[in-house]
Amino acid sequence: MEQPWIRIVFRRRVFIITLIMVQLAFIMFAIASTHFALHYMDVILKSFSIIVCIHILNKKDNSAYKLTWIFLILLFPLFGGPVYVFFYTQSSPRKLRRKTEEITNRYRPFFKPDDEVTHEISENHRECVPQVRYLQDYAGFPIYKRTQTQYFDSGESFFAQVLSELQKAKRYIFLEFFIMRQGKMLDPIIAILAEKARAGLDVRIMYDDLGCFTSLPPHFNETLENLGIKCLVFGPFKPILSSLQNNRDHRKIISIDGEVAFTGGINLADEYINARARFGHWKDSAIMLSGEAAWGLTLIFLHMWNLNSKVEDDVSAFYPWATEPCSVESDGYVQPYADTPIDKRNVGEHVYIQIMNDAKEYLYINTPYLVIDDKLLSALILAAKSGIDVRIITPYRWDKWIVSVVSRSYYRQLILSGVKVYEYSAGFNHSKSFVSDDRVATVGTTNLDFRSLYLHYECGVWMYKTKTVATIKEDFLSTLASCKEITLADCARNALQRITQDVLRIFAPLM
């Protein structure tokens, strides 16, 4: 009989991690051996690293990434340059970029804006025109009017509504998630999906391989396929050093018949509904769209599905209002959007910056991580120094210790500038939301950290004068009762803590 430890050793996850470590060790050994064997290679490798640094300086990239890589190369001049080149030449972003552009061009007619709605905004709501134009004309995501929005301030309320809406599906159900874990949340959803698939509906699930690396059993996609559910695993994790392994699908989307759609910070795992305790009480949020804007999230899903499959869907076949117009009454203006690391547009970051810059009275932010570059830091500080009530809620209990240390390193500078910082005392605040001036809000998947802003596939919903803007504000203010306001005294640090935070801040783009 096969021994249990043998099965464990040869599990896919252990095998992949081992191969990566072997590659790293081989690179270090090869360079070190060359250095000791041939002294002139010392000059060659150092000269090569200098050339790489010059290349990085002139590269169109975030300045924080440039600083981090240059620091690493200068710290390890012998193998810093070769490692950088090896890391980036293992991927083929050009091929992926071309495929993305091809699919985007094919989808462009379906993202066509409604001229009537655009004209109405231009005439009557000038204050939001820059944001609408940016998302619609530059990023390619139209604004919708005939839509109702519903905000969920917890995973529990979100889960109950999702189960109810899934039961109503008549044509198709699409799901896209970063993390899924079998249990009290995922299992009932899979049961409904399997039932709907047996009834002839087009049921699809796409999940990120790295996000589910430790949460799902191997070959879970085959289990879903056997239930009649079409499944795609995004970015299968390969045992090679590649920059593309950093680009994960961090989106959370549910689309039901193109008429109802969800997004937000909530994944399909028990901790998100507090059925499993990990970091105290789990605070999260999501948004449901009913009406035309739900089609926007559906298109974002289909675009991603076609990007990662060999199938070319007839997108028009999924449009829910082909025979009769949408009858949903308008609840303000709603603009779903998505972000991809391939085009370097940083849509999620720009949406946040626009809200910061346009704020006149207040700006309230929920984020699980606060690891930001100079642009976002300056925008927050400028808003606070301009007399705007800027408040940020972060977790008290964090899921990543290093990220918590770096996040807290920003507190003192923000507080001195007038920003009020709170930590969610009850546990982990995983919500990602912005709300400002009783007019504008966004709920989505994008964290205030380098990975979400620059490396991951993300999505969100920007809203203007919807009823949920007030609901999001009320949720933020009520959450403050479970928070501790951070003072300058709380930010006091000894010499060791200052050095630790300063060093870790240098490596923030890699976290």
Q: Per-residue pLDDT averaged across 200-215, rounded? A: 93
Asked if 335 and 459 count as a contact pair (C-beta separation under 8 A), the reply is no
| pLDDT for the residue 2 | 40
Q: Please report, to the nearest 10 degrees, the dihedral formed by the alpha carbons of residues 380, 381, 382, 383 taken in order.
A: 50
Q: Per-residue pLDDT averaged across 274-298, rounded? A: 95
pLDDT band for position 241 (cuts 50, 70, 90): low
CATH of domain 347-510: 3.30.870.10
pLDDT band for position 33 (cuts 50, 70, 90): low
Instruction: Tell me which residue of 297, 257, 504, 280 sits closest to 405, measured CA to CA.
Output: 504
Cα separation, 58 vs 56, whole angstroms: 5
Concatenated DSSP letters of 198-233? HTT-EEEEEEETTTTTTTS-TTHHHHHHHTT-EEEE
Whether pLDDT at 328 is above 90 = yes
Cα separation, 486 vs 408, whole angstroms: 10
Domain residue extents for the chain: 4-89, 146-339, 347-510
Two tokens, residue 132: 């609408």
Cα separation, 333 vs 354, whole angstroms: 17
Record: fold of 146-339? Endonuclease; Chain A (3.30.870)
Whether pLDDT at 183 is above 80 = yes
Question: For the chain, how far is it from start to end, CA to CA, in angstroms?
Answer: 42
Contacts of 164 (CB under 8 A, 6+ apart): none
Whether pLDDT at 346 is above 60 = yes
Q: Decide whether 146-339 matches 347-510 in CATH topology.
A: yes
Q: With left for phi above 0 and alpha for psi between -120 and 50, is residue 253 left, alpha or beta?
A: beta
In this structure, which amino acid lies at residue 454? Y
Cα separation, 302 vs 150, whole angstroms: 23
Whether pLDDT at 35 is above 60 = no
User: Per-residue pLDDT tens for 413-456?
Assistant: 999 999 999 999 999 999 999 999 999 999 999 999 988 998 89
Cα separation, 396 vs 430, whole angstroms: 11
Q: pTM score, two decimals? A: 0.86
